Amino acid sequence: MKSISNQHRAGSAMVAVVILVSALFVVAAMVINLAHIQVVNAKVQIVADASARAAGRVYAETGNEAHALVAAQQLAAMNPIQSVVVPIEAGDLEYGLSTRNSKNKAYTFTAAENGNSVRVTTNAFANGSGTGVSTVFPAFGQGMEIRPARTATNTQSTLDVCLIVDRSGSMRYAANEDSRSGSRPASEPSGWSAGDPVAPNSRWLDLVASVNGFCDELSLTAKSEKIGLVSYASDVTREVDLTTDYSEISASNFAISSSYYNGMTNVGGGIEDGLLAVTHPKYARPWANNALVLMSDGNHNTGTDPLEAAASAASQQVPIYTVSFSDEADQVLMQQIADMTGGTHYHAVDAAQLNEAFRNIARRLPSMLTE
């Protein structure tokens, strides 16, 4: 009897061990699955973020919803999760307005036509479209798929931007002329003197047309960008404080064109005054992001060191988008300024390229993920 009792106890203990091991295995499987689900959730969020950025950029540049969808799909395809591509369908994209009333407040998205935001939500994936991501272990003997719905919103931010333009003596010349030759601009009337209208084929008039194109691009958006204008030669002038009335920019440039003066090239001083313009307590908006657009056709030769001024912009997190114009321009310096501040450098050799550079900048001004 004693032997039978011992055998019974041993059998019971073995059963308990088997049950315990099985329970531990189930718990371990659940923990591993939960950890895997969290990883997949994070990766689907990355896909949503990348897709929203791509869609937002294309939509800002083209205004075309079909093109924005293709861009989102392409980015999703470039970020597969365990060979699973998250499907992005037309219904996953929403277009609208994202606004805030302070820099330390969150953006609020509202669906609207011709807005400043594109929101991507992985609804199609969550609702069963395409292949799901499998769990590491089956649950209750059944295979499970992980299909989270994740949202990301890309917003073209509210912007206060200052255009900083070169009105030095070299801007009297045509883009294909050498201002250092000692001869007058070919299209300049005989007897021209400082204060007369600028020559008809001048770089300055090419710039005026390009600035108008910049303003035209921004006027097509649902955002309310403020634009300021600073001009520089030997001196620096705040031509227009930040405004939503872009006609003031055109009027100021027309006035300069009508009475043009020679001067040197104080690039650094222009940057300094542009910074003051976008941070002006009366005209700048505390919730807006700031940017500078700097144009030059030559070489800095007087006033503030441009790299010191650019360092000040970088410390205030104000990007500078630079445009060098003509073969005389210091492309190296303009690239350095853009690199230091997080902007982009463009180079143009003729009026058409200059116009396209300014339009590209207007289309690509800062965007961000706001959700």
| Model confidence pLDDT, tens digit, residues 266-318 | 999 999 999 999 999 999 988 788 999 999 998 999 999 999 999 999 999 99
DSSP 8-state secondary structure symbol assigned to residue 323: E
| Model confidence pLDDT, tens digit, residues 147-174 | 999 999 998 777 899 999 999 999 999 9
H or E, element range at 368: strand 367-369
In the chain, domain spans: 2-156, 159-369
Distance from C-alpha of 326 to C-alpha of 162, rounded to nearest angstrom:
22
What mean pLDDT is predicted for residues 76-95? 94
pLDDT > 70? residue 140: no
Buried b (16+ CB within 10 A) or exposed e, 143-170: ebebbbebbbbbbbbbbbbbbbbbbbbb
Q: What phi and psi values does residue 221 have, to the nearest 5 degrees?
A: -90, 165
Q: For residues 365 and 341, which has the higher predicted lDDT (pLDDT)? A: 341
Distance from C-alpha of 34 to C-alpha of 29, rounded to nearest angstrom:
8
Cβ neighbours around 42 below 10 Å, total: 12
CB 85 within 8 A of CB 47: no
H or E, element range at 345: strand 345-348
pLDDT of residue 123: 96
Where residue 257 falls (left for φ over 0; alpha for ψ -120 to 50; beta otherwise) is alpha
pLDDT of residue 255: 97
Closest by CA position to 98, among listed 152, 150, 62, 162: 152
pLDDT of residue 28: 63
Please provide the distance, in angstroms rounded to a whole number, between the alpha carbons at the two ends of the chain: 73
pLDDT > 70? residue 49: yes
What the block records as the tokens of 318 is 């104000």
pLDDT of residue 256: 97
H or E, element range at 289: strand 289-296
Calculate the average pLDDT of the chain: 88
DSSP 8-state secondary structure symbol assigned to residue 201: T
CATH topology of domain 159-369: Rossmann fold (3.40.50)
pLDDT of residue 285: 86
pLDDT > 60? residue 1: no
Closest by CA position to 256, among listed 194, 329, 336: 194
pLDDT of residue 105: 74
CB 362 within 8 A of CB 218: yes
Torsional sign, CA 65, 67, 73, 76:
negative
pLDDT > 70? residue 13: no
pLDDT of residue 222: 58
Residue at 11: amino acid letter: G
CB 361 within 8 A of CB 218: no
Distance from C-alpha of 36 to C-alpha of 87, rounded to nearest angstrom:
20
Sheet containing strand 320-325, strands side by side:
236-243, 226-232, 159-166, 289-296, 320-325, 345-348
pLDDT > 90? residue 59: no
Ranges of H-type helices in the chain: 2-62, 65-77, 123-126, 203-219, 247-258, 267-278, 306-315, 331-341, 351-364
The angle, 0 to 180 degrees and rounded to 10, between the axes of the packed helices 351-364 and 203-219 is: 30
What mean pLDDT is predicted for residues 30-51? 86
| Model confidence pLDDT, tens digit, residues 100-117 | 776 667 788 989 887 788
Distance from C-alpha of 14 to C-alpha of 88, rounded to nearest angstrom:
53
Q: Let me know the angle formed at the C-alpha of 156 by 228 and 97, rounded to the nearest 5 degrees.
A: 110
